[in-house]
Amino acid sequence: MSMNATAVAHLLAALAALILAAHTLGTLCARLRQPRVIGEIAAGLVLGPTLLGQFAPGAEAWLFPPTGTTTAVLGAMYQLGLLLLLFCSGTQIRSAFRRAESRTVSWVFVTGMLLPFLAGLGLLHVLGLRSSWGPHGNAVSFLLVFAIAMAVTSIPVISKIMHDLGILDTAFARVVLGVAVAEDVVLYVVLAVAVGVAQGTQGTQFGLPSLLGIGPGTPADMVYHVVASLVVLAVAVAAGPRIYRATSRWQLNLVHQASPVAYQLLFLLTATLLCLSLGIEGIFGALVAGIAVGATEEFSPAAARSVECFSFAFFIPIYFALVGLQLDLVHGFSVAFFLVFLLLACAVKAGSVYLGARLAGEASGSSLNLAIALNARGGPGIVVASVAYTAGIIGQSFYAVLVLLAIVTSLLAGSWLVHVPRERLLTAKPAAVKPLPRRTRKDSAPRPADP
């Protein structure tokens, strides 16, 4: 499809505005020791209906028209940015803790994931929120999205916060990242199921489910999506790294020989297409591709860094800016509902993490630090919101609530950890003290005082 000079100029103006605003506000947030993602989303708020649309609606409508070439291209970049974000997140999913911290990680993961998920189910039963459904939402898909929004923790945001504070080498950081890794894997499985169920209820099936004759929106459809997602994840973890390593060494693999970066992108697209052909949400394919590449990062570390640098320079900032651009905090947004939901979500998540840490034997202070750190929903929370909104599971008002929840909880976690001394972050269980040798009668006399 050809574009005339006017359409090209219009598109370039929109891209330039997004890049300028996203990197400017992201850098300001970084200098304030806050996650860059918050500034990138704020860029979308500034350029979108929340701010520019209020004071200069004509300029906002010209820069980002509802239809046309610019809208179509930005929509494609939004999808590519989301895929690259999930791919880069997948490369970070590795074993992040040591055997000594496994007890704390296990307890915190179980309570910090299960209790908020169950609380989300209970709250949804009480609150109802039928008005928050999107055009393709249904009871099952909305319930799953609501529940995982209560339980999610962000790997990129919390790891960036701890990197800036210089505490990534601590036991506290290893526990937080270990729990976040496990939670995010569960999150994306459940999210893939929710999107699959929502798409199935639209009456159209794509890929393997349609070939198997699985009816859309039926119990068999939901079971299929759960099983298929878990199988793909298991295959990616067990065989993905070997597949990537073996194909990279093929003599006929001219793509890898020409550019390892290009082959990683091809691997990402292939995994995404494979998941789509299985009837699974495409973002899950991007995640498992990242897991496979991340496990073999030593095979081509320069390529992995190049993909990450390129993604975070262009596509991912545009993705987060477009997330903010879709937010309208003026029309149809309830501040009271957001504050109530924020308090409930934070209380449930923090309380469940605190309980798990205490059951693991951590002190009250370190349990509190873990509870606040693991409340940062950041990137994954925004991904849940944007994917659910794009799939039509949630409406615009609830989409805004989930995005703001991710932003505010990330700010709270960063602000808290800045003021906690490094040595007080996590109180490790006391090391086993060797028993003193049993005294003999000769040793029973009191020892002289030390000088």
Taking only the tens place, the pLDDT of each residue in 203-259 is: 455 677 777 777 666 677 777 877 888 888 888 888 999 999 999 989 899 999 999
pLDDT at 231: 87
Q: Residue 262: pLDDT band by 50, 70, 90 thresholds?
A: very high
pLDDT tens by residue, 394-404:
988 889 999 89
Q: What is the mean pLDDT of residues 120-137?
A: 81
Report CA dihedral (352, 355, 357, 362) to the nearest 10 degrees. 150
Q: Look at residue 86 and tell me if it is in a domain.
A: yes
Alpha-carbon distance of 190 to 387, in angstroms, equals: 12
Asked if residue 119 has pLDDT above 90, the reply is no
Say if residue 436's pLDDT is above 70: no
Residue 313 in domain: yes
* 289 within some domain: yes
Q: Which of 57-71, 192-206, 422-436 has the lowest mean pLDDT?
A: 422-436
Length of the chain: 451
φ/ψ region of 129 (left if φ > 0, alpha if ψ in -120 to 50, else beta) reads left
pLDDT reading at 44 higher than 90: yes
- Six-digit token string for 160: 């960036």
Are 237 and 155 in contact by the 8 Å Cβ rule? The answer is: no
- Please give the angle made by the CA atoms of 347, 167 and 342, to the nearest 5 degrees: 20
User: Does residue 264 surpass a pLDDT of 60?
Assistant: yes
Which residues are registered as beta bridge partners of 133? 394
Among the listed ranges 42-46, 59-63, 410-414, 422-426, which one has the minimum average pLDDT value?
422-426
| Mean pLDDT to the nearest integer, 58-83 | 90
Average pLDDT, the chain: 81
Average pLDDT over residues 39-55: 92
**Dist CA 24 CA 356 (whole Å):** 40
* Average of per-residue pLDDT across 340-346: 91
Per-residue model confidence (pLDDT) at position 93: 63
* Residue 446 within any structural domain of the chain: no
In the numeric block, the tokens 């029973």 are attached to 444
Name the band, by pLDDT with cuts 50, 70 and 90, for residue 412. confident
**DSSP character for 66?**
S
How many structural domains comprise the chain? 1
| C-alpha span between 320 and 150 (Å, rounded) | 21
Residue 45 lies in a domain: yes
Out of 161-165, 274-278, 308-312, 444-448, least confident range: 444-448
Q: Domain range spanning residue 395?
A: 5-421
339-to-112, 236, 385, 402 alpha-carbon distances in Å: 21, 39, 17, 11
Q: Reply yes or no on whether the pLDDT at 439 is more than 70.
A: no
Assigned domain for 68 exists: yes
What's the whole-number mean pLDDT along residues 433-437? 43
Give the per-residue pLDDT at 297: 63
Residue 351 confidence class, pLDDT cut points 50, 70, 90: very high
Query: pTM for this one?
Result: 0.76
Is residue 142 over pLDDT 70?
yes
| CA-wise closest residue to 270 among 295, 245, 290, 249 | 290
For residue 429, being part of any structural domain is answered with: no
Reply yes or no on whether the pLDDT at 170 is more than 80.
no
**pLDDT value at residue 432:** 39
Highest-confidence segment of 26-35, 181-190, 221-230: 26-35
29 CB burial (10 A radius; 0-12, 13-18, 19+): buried
Cα distances (angstroms) measured from residue 173 to each of 85, 100, 296, 354: 22, 13, 23, 16
What is the arithmetic mean of pLDDT over 81-88?
A: 87
Asked whether residue 433 is domain-assigned, the answer is: no
142-156, 204-218, 244-258, 356-370: segment of lowest average pLDDT: 204-218
CATH number at residue 354: 1.20.1530.20
Region 273-280: mean pLDDT is: 87
182 vs 324, residue with greater confidence = 324
